[in-house]
Amino acid sequence: MLLPVWQTEFALSYGLLAVMRGLYSGAMAGLQIPVGRLAERIDGKILLALGTMVAALGYVLAGLSGSVVGLGLALLVSGAGSSTQHPLASAAVSRAYGKAARGPLGIYNFSGDLGKATLPPLIATLLVIMSWRHALLLVASAGLFVTLCLAILMPAIGKGFAQKSAVTTQSVQAGRGGFSWLLAIGILDSAVRMGFPHIASSHRTRLRAVLHRHDRIGRNRAGALRPARRRRWSDPGNDSDGSHSTCHMPARTSAGIASV
């Protein structure tokens, strides 16, 4: 939602906008596996709360940034904090409900999509009454409030993974092909959602430039084809140099007037 605002604020091209989006998405996606490894030694609740706090602080830094470099670093920080949400929160839901976790996981994923659909119009409404910096600070304060709620209300997830039985191990080994399909679907889904808006915006800008160029060429051609007719109509005594101005008319018109 803030990408067009940042483009106007910092005079960014669509390529730099894609870099900014890639900094956040890359940090969030690239650190999920290390966070999952770290959760084997530290309680997942602590990591999830810390990650939410870091993401909120990244929004604070973005709101206080005064340059493109500062904005990029802030997005990196926010993406690094957001990397704890998917692996740890999904694992917490799965461990809490066990074999009946399919329904709660669906609700969890739906709530995430609902938040993604609600936040852009909310930011757009805030931009009407305040600057984008204050809007980011307000979103960051909401993130800090969520961090406090996680620290107080969320039960401990525990270290590592739940103990696996022999049946669970066999089911995991039998379902490796399904995991490959899920991985491929996730990659394609993220690639379309992250890359298509920038590609569409770039093609839209090029189309506007082409249409503007063709319109300018058409106007120049129309001006060249239009006959240049200069007529000088004035009274004999109105010229500044005292000379009498003449009226240039075609021969047929002069003859017609003389005959009358």
The CATH number of whichever domain residue 85 belongs to comes to: 1.20.1250.20
Instruction: Report the candidate in 65, 50, 51, 62 with the shortest Cα–Cα distance to residue 139.
Output: 62
Write down the residue that tokens 């800090």 correspond to. Answer: 144
Establish if 30 belongs to a structural domain: yes
Q: What is the rounded CA–CA span in Å between residue 226 and residue 35?
A: 71
Establish if 83 belongs to a structural domain: yes
pLDDT at 202 over 70: no
Most confident of 33-37, 145-149, 197-201, 227-231: 145-149
Average pLDDT estimate for 139-160: 86
Q: What is the rounded CA–CA span in Å between residue 37 and residue 165?
A: 21
Q: What is the rounded CA–CA span in Å between residue 220 and residue 246?
A: 31
Q: What is the rounded CA–CA span in Å between residue 37 and residue 31?
A: 10
Establish if 105 belongs to a structural domain: yes
Does the pTM of the predicted model rise above 0.75?
Answer: no
The pLDDT of residue 102 is 85
CB 132 within 8 A of CB 5: yes
Establish if 195 belongs to a structural domain: no
According to DSSP, residue 131 is labeled -
Establish if 106 belongs to a structural domain: yes
How many beta carbons lie within 10 A of that of residue 219, not counting itself?
Answer: 10
pLDDT band, very low/low/confident/very high, at 43 (cuts 50, 70, 90): confident
- Return the amino acid letter for 82: S
The pLDDT of residue 233 is 45
Alpha helices in the chain, H assignment, sequence order: 3-10, 14-30, 32-38, 44-64, 68-82, 90-97, 102-129, 132-153, 166-174, 176-225, 251-259
Average pLDDT estimate for 191-205: 58
Start-to-end Cα distance in the chain: 75
Q: Which domain holds residue 12?
A: 3-159
Write down the residue that tokens 């204050």 correspond to. Answer: 134
Which of 14-18, 177-181, 224-228 comes out lowest in average pLDDT? 224-228
Establish if 35 belongs to a structural domain: yes
Q: What is the rounded CA–CA span in Å between residue 159 and residue 45?
A: 9
Write down the residue that tokens 């003389």 correspond to. Answer: 258
Establish if 23 belongs to a structural domain: yes
Residue 218 is encoded by which pair of tokens? 């058409």
pLDDT at 224 over 50: yes
- Return the amino acid letter for 33: I
Domains of the chain: total = 1
- Return the amino acid letter for 22: G
Establish if 77 belongs to a structural domain: yes
Average pLDDT across the chain, whole number? 76
The pLDDT of residue 66 is 85
DSSP assignment of 188-256 equals: HHHHHHHHHHHHHHHHHHHHHHHHHHHHHHHHHHHHHHS---------TT-STTSPPP-----HHHHHH
